[in-house]
Amino acid sequence: MTIDDLIEKIKTYNPNVDEAEIRSAYELAKVNHQGQKRNSGEDYIIHPLHVAMILADMNMDSATIIAGLLHDTIEDTSVTYEDIEKKFGKEIAELVDGVTKLKKLNYKSKAEKQAENIRKMVLAMAKDIRVIIVKLADRLHNMRTLEYMTEAKKIEKATETLEIYAPIADRLGMSRVKWELEDLSLRYLDPDEYYKLVDMVNKRRKEREELINSIIDTLKVNLERVGIKCEINGRPKNFYSIYKKMKVKGKVFDEIYDLSAVRILTNDI
């Protein structure tokens, strides 16, 4: 992935984007992260670039994407709040500073009550909701590349993600982010069950897709008949939601029948 790829993605929903400003933020991050490496051995700049792309996939505004590119600079480089404010303005400096402050929270306690307190703290600390969105994008890319961590760190980060970040994504209505965070967490917390589940779900993928399409077609016909205009979407349920249901209800995979979900959006009924 390159900065050109990021800019092309942004232009798909914001053709008037200030390309020079995006490139300037990228160069600032690249220069100041020079010599830093990810656990994968890649140059560190790969991480903020991927975070920015995740934000672009959400159609976020330029300020948020620039904050994504710069989100580690205050903490991990010599760049200061004042440097960012001078070059990009107070709005972006505040976003980067907000993400930096969230990183200082202590997540060590895994008690459910404490996890809920931390979730509330994260939401309360962010004066701007975009701070949390950048943090979620940061966590999502880190989870996608968790394989390069030690086993202990994998468990720690996966638990933290499942207890703190996935529920926050859910509260913000960021369903796709929630589902991916949950599935990535499960992959490291219970790998044997995760890969068994992936295999079983994939074997029934065609059957599920046909069922979803059939349900959508039936709903469209019946809703149009009564004059209800709507948008209907179907999706397979994510692995973690199936896993959780199996554990809670004490059932095996073949006893779980609601493997798909359909959403109907309408202005009124």
Residue 26: is its pLDDT beyond 80?
A: yes
Which stretches of the chain are assigned E, i.e. beta strand?
A: 230-236, 260-266
Q: Which residue among the candidates 43, 61, 75, 91 is catalytic per the annotation?
A: 75
In a domain, 196, yes or no: no
Is residue 8 domain-shared with residue 96, that is, in the same domain? yes
Q: Is 76 a catalytic residue?
A: yes
Residue 240: is its pLDDT beyond 90?
A: yes
Q: What are the tens digits of pLDDT across the range 174-203?
A: 999 999 999 999 999 999 999 999 998 888
Quick one: CA dihedral 212, 214, 220, 222, positive or negative?
Answer: negative
Mean pLDDT in residue range 255-266: 71
CATH number at residue 158: 1.10.3210.10
Determine the distance from the C-alpha atom of residue 167 to the mean position of all C-alpha atoms in its chain, rounded to a whole number.
11
Is residue 23 domain-shared with residue 80, that is, in the same domain? yes
Read off the tokens for 93.
């400096």
Residue 110: is its pLDDT beyond 70?
A: no
pLDDT of residue 222: 83
Element (H, E) at 218: helix 205-225
Q: Which residue among the candidates 19, 21, 76, 193 is catalytic per the annotation?
A: 76
Is residue 208 domain-shared with residue 164, that is, in the same domain? no
Give the type of residue at 50: H
pTM reported for the whole predicted model: 0.86
DSSP H helices, 43-190, are 46-57, 62-70, 73-76, 81-88, 90-102, 112-125, 129-144, 151-160, 166-171, 175-189
pLDDT of residue 254: 67
Its domain, for residue 73, covers 3-189
How long a stretch of residues is the chain? 269
Residue 255: is its pLDDT beyond 80?
A: no
- Give me the number of domains the chain comprises: 2
- pLDDT classification of 260: cutoffs 50, 70, 90: low
Read off the tokens for 102.
């969230």
Q: Is 75 a catalytic residue?
A: yes
Residue whose tokens read 């703190």: 164
Residue 237: is its pLDDT beyond 80?
A: no
Is residue 112 domain-shared with residue 207, that is, in the same domain? no
Core vs surface per residue 6-17: b (16+ CB within 10 A) or e: bbebbeeeeeeb
**Closest to 44 in 3D by CA, of 135, 145, 133, 134:** 145
- pLDDT classification of 125: cutoffs 50, 70, 90: confident
Distance between CA 77 and CA 60 in Å, rounded?
25
Is residue 174 domain-shared with residue 208, that is, in the same domain? no
pLDDT winner (highest mean) among 37-46, 208-217, 222-231: 37-46
pLDDT of residue 207: 75
pLDDT of residue 142: 97
Share of the chain above pLDDT 70, in %: 93
**Closest to 89 in 3D by CA, of 31, 11, 135, 21:** 21
